[in-house]
Amino acid sequence: MTRYHPALVALHWVMAIMILMGLFFGKFVLTAMDNADPEKVQGLGGHMTIGLLVGVLLVARLIVRFASEKPPHAETGHAVLDRLGAATHWVLYSLVALMVLSGLGTALGGGLFPIVFGGSGDPIPADLNDLAPRMAHGLVSNLLILLLLLHVAAALYHQFFLRDGLFGRMWFGKRKLSEADQ
C-alpha cells in the first residue's frame, strides 16, 4: 500500500484539528479565565466536548489502524530515526489517551459534568488545579505539544528534505500497491 486507509486519513486530520483546538483553547483561553467568570462554563463545555470526541475518535482510529492494511513505515535512511519515528506515533496515541483520561478525571473530581452540561448553576470549583488529574492534564498537554512539534518537523523533513512524498501517504487518493507489495 502507498496510502493509509481513507478512514485513517480522515480520522488523522479531524483529530489533528480537534487536538490543536483543544490545546490552544485550554492553554491560552481557559487558563486565562477566572473560574468565577460565567463564560468559563461555556468555554469548558466546548473544551470538554472536544476532549470527549477526541477520545471516541482515538478508539475508532486504533480499530481502523489494526483492521486495515497500511503502507510500510517511512524510512529516513537512519535506523535510529526510523525506530524513533515508529515509536513516536505510539507515544502520540498514548499522550492523547492520557489527555482524555486526565480531562475526565478532572471533570469527575471537580464535579464539572453537572455544572457544565447539567445546568446546575453551581460555580466551577476554585481549586481544580489542586486535583492530581488536573496537574497531569497540564503536564501531558506540554508533552503533547512538544511531540506534535516534533511530528510536524519530521513530516516536513520527509516532504521537503528527503522528498519521499510522505504527505501523500496521509492524504486521500487511490491506494496503490507499493513495489514491495507486488
Percent of the chain with pLDDT over 90: 70
- Distance CA(18)–CA(123), nearest Å, equals 27
Number of domains in the chain: 1
- Mean pLDDT in residue range 162-168: 86
Give the lowest-confidence range in 7-21, 49-63, 137-151, 165-179.
165-179
Query: Is residue 181 pLDDT above 70, yes or no?
Result: no
Look at residue 178 in the predicted model and tell me its pLDDT. 57
Exposure letters 31-61 (e unless 16+ CB within 10 A, then b): eeeebeeeebbebbeebbebbeebbebbeeb
pTM of the model: 0.90
DSSP label at residue 167: H
Look at residue 76 in the predicted model and tell me its pLDDT. 86
Three-state secondary-structure class, residue 109: helix
- Distance CA(116)–CA(120), nearest Å, equals 8
Q: Please state, in angstroms and as integers, the Cα–Cα distance from residue 113 to each residue in 49, 71, 88, 108, 159, following that order.
A: 11, 41, 33, 7, 43
CATH number at residue 117: 1.20.950
| 66 found inside a domain | yes
| 174 found inside a domain | no
| 107 found inside a domain | yes
Look at residue 119 in the predicted model and tell me its pLDDT. 83
| 178 found inside a domain | no
Cα 138 off chain centre by: 14
Percent of the chain with pLDDT over 70: 95
Give the lowest-confidence range in 112-121, 134-143, 163-172.
163-172
User: Which grid coordinates are listed for 55?
Assistant: 477520545
Look at residue 78 in the predicted model and tell me its pLDDT. 86
Look at residue 166 in the predicted model and tell me its pLDDT. 83
| 112 found inside a domain | yes
- Mean pLDDT in residue range 11-35: 96
| 110 found inside a domain | yes
Look at residue 47 in the predicted model and tell me its pLDDT. 97
